[in-house]
Amino acid sequence: MFLFFIFGTSLIYGQNTVNDTIIVQDTLSNLKFNYKQLIIPGVLVSYGVIGLESDQLKGYNSDIKKEVNEDIDHKISIDDFSQWAPAVSVYSLNAFGVKGKHNLKDRSIILASSYLMMSATVFALKGITKVERPDGSSNNSFPSGHTATAFAGAEFMYQEYKDQSIWYGIAGYAVATGTGLFRMYNDRHWLTDVVAGAGIGILSTKAAYWMYPFLQHKVFKSSIENKTTSMIMPFYN
């Protein structure tokens, strides 16, 4: 009986070890980031950064500003709200029974991680570059925080619903693009600000999905899954 107990305990311990090993291997395999995912956001961010010094791209900025200002009758503040629309839509769709890829806790952690990385990047670049806004109101134009927020949400919506229908992602990116256009229409940002903001937003959410398997295993362990958890994320735009 004693030998049987030891043998059974050894089997259980060995099984747990194997399971932990499998989890770690799966986590590491999920961390393999496909470099192709970096191409589009990389090009967008590069365009914005190059535009900080390129006379040609600065000329495009000025030409667009002149064209836009000729047609402006009054400003429209819809971009203050549309920046949040793609991310909020994910939760709304889930509330109406259209299930995304992740549950409430998982997708909230992913979105919070994305916003944290995006906000840190945007504020750091604003402080470093000190680009004057088109309306001359301040020197924190580059990159566009509204656009970054909108595109982070659009990529979030795409990732959650791409297996359901690609049209969810298209709708999210259409709203995000509109947000960027309204930032220029309202004379708050240059084209390079908006393009760079879009790239930062997309890249932040892609990185959040890439990192989440590691965070899930190392930080948000399964032992707390059955407990009620709350999360407060300070965010300023």
233 assigned to some structural domain:
no
212 assigned to some structural domain:
yes
What's the whole-number mean pLDDT along residues 25-33? 48
Confidence of residue 19 (pLDDT cuts 50, 70, 90): very low
Residues 21 and 41 in one domain: no
Q: What angle do CA 135, 140, 141 make, to 5 degrees?
A: 55
Residues 2 and 113 in one domain: no
- Mind listing the pLDDT tens digit for each residue in 82-92? 999 999 999 99
Residues 149 and 197 in one domain: yes
Residues 129 and 213 in one domain: yes
229 assigned to some structural domain:
no
Task: Name the region of 4 (left: φ>0; alpha: ψ -120 to 50; beta: rest).
Answer: alpha
236 assigned to some structural domain:
no
Residues 66 and 8 in one domain: no
Closest CA to 191 of 56, 7, 72, 80: 56
Residues 6+ away with beta carbon under 8 Å from 219: none
What's the whole-number mean pLDDT along residues 36-48? 94
Tell me what pLDDT residue 153 has.
Answer: 98
Residues 100 and 170 in one domain: yes
Q: What are phi and psi of 183, to 5 degrees?
A: -65, -35
Residues 72 and 86 in one domain: yes
Residues 21 and 128 in one domain: no
Asked if residue 23 has pLDDT above 70, the reply is no
Residues 102 and 51 in one domain: yes
122 assigned to some structural domain:
yes
CATH number of the domain bearing residue 106:
1.20.144
Residues 12 and 118 in one domain: no
Residues 20 and 82 in one domain: no
Burial of 52 (0-12, 13-18, 19+ CB in 10 A): middle
Tell me what pLDDT residue 220 has.
Answer: 62
What's the whole-number mean pLDDT along residues 214-229? 59
What is the rounded CA–CA span in Å between residue 178 and residue 176? 5
Q: Which domain holds residue 153?
A: 35-224
For the chain, give the mean pLDDT: 83
189 assigned to some structural domain:
yes
175 assigned to some structural domain:
yes
- Mind listing the pLDDT tens digit for each residue in 64-121? 999 887 766 677 889 999 999 999 999 999 999 999 999 999 999 999 999 999 999 9
pTM over 0.95: no
Residues 73 and 179 in one domain: yes
Total number of domains in the chain: 2
Tell me what pLDDT residue 45 has.
Answer: 97
